[in-house]
């Protein structure tokens, strides 16, 4: 990135960090943009140069997380079983949130904020649909699959994101009693036989062949 791009990214990151900290502690409705800019040490004009609203901060956070998950999947070895590649891609953001006790505490508050605030949960579900489409598209690039094999990539992406959902929900409900990294590993161990099966259209007889 250029110097200007790095500076812009730094400001965006500082605003995101300040906003998420405040929103997670005080609740979505209780936080104002004035409080966010005061915590970040920038002007209100600067805030609106980057985000349209405080809700937009969370939406951008989710968009960045989705892009990161897809990038991780794209970087996995081509000969790796799908369950391993998808587990790694979905686990990376969880490890990023839990690699330090302070990070884990804040991340847990953010998870509870998103799942417990109807407006933010709705935006999460909206973004999750895009994640599913992106992961399915990425899976078609792996050996043995093509864009025509539309069943397996879409179902595999859906299963991987369900694993992610279950992990966040259990973590949000259980708090410190739940290790999200260990939990998502257990969930993927359950899903592995289905994820690593050949493409569904290669397994299921077609209507024509069944009729004959």
13: pLDDT strictly greater than 90: no
CATH 1.10.357.10 residue spans of the chain: 55-198
Instruction: Go through the chain and tell me how many residues it has.
Output: 212
- CATH superfamily, domain at 1-51: Homeodomain-like (1.10.10.60)
pLDDT in tens, 33-80: 999 999 999 999 999 999 999 999 998 888 889 999 999 999 999 889
Rounded CA separation 73/89 (Å): 5
Q: Which two tokens stand for residue 42?
A: 């920038």
Q: Compute the radius of gyration of the chain from its Cα atoms.
A: 20
Given a contact cutoff of 8 angstroms between Cβ atoms, the answer to whether 184 and 87 are in contact is yes
* Its pTM surpasses 0.85: no
Question: Topology of domain 55-198, per CATH?
Answer: Tetracycline Repressor; domain 2 (1.10.357)
Positions of CATH 1.10.10.60 in the chain: 1-51
Express each pLDDT in 167-212 by its tens digit: 999 999 999 899 999 999 999 999 999 998 754 444 444 444 444 4
Instruction: Give yes or no for a contact between 156 and 140, defined as CB atoms under 8 angstroms apart.
Output: no
Nearest CA to 165 out of 109, 134, 119, 127 is that of 127
Q: Per residue in 98-152, pLDDT tens?
A: 776 667 888 888 899 999 999 999 999 999 999 999 999 999 888 766 555 678 8
């Amino acid at each position: 990135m250029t110097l200007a791009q790095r500076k812009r990214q730094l400001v965006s990151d500082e605003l995101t960090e300040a906003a998420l900290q405040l929103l997670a502690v005080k609740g979505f409705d209780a936080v104002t943009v004035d409080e966010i800019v005061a915590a970040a040490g920038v002007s209100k004009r600067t805030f609106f140069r980057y985000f349209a609203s405080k809700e937009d901060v969370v939406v951008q956070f989710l968009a960045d997380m989705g892009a990161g998950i897809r990038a991780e999947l794209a970087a996995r070895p081509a000969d790796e079983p799908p369950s391993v590649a998808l587990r790694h891609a979905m686990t990376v953001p969880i490890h990023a949130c839990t690699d330090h006790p302070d990070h884990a505490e804040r991340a847990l508050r953010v998870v509870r904020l998103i799942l417990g605030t109807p407006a933010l949960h709705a935006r999460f579900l909206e973004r999750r649909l895009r994640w599913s489409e992106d992961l399915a598209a990425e899976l078609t690039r792996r050996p043995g699959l093509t864009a025509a094999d539309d069943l397996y990539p879409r179902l595999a992406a859906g299963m991987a994101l369900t694993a992610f959902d279950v992990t966040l929900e259990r973590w949000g409900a259980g708090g410190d009693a739940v290790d999200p990294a260990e939990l998502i590993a257990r969930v993927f161990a359950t899903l592995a036989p289905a994820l690593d099966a050949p493409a569904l259209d290669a397994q299921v007889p077609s209507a024509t062949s069944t009729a004959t």
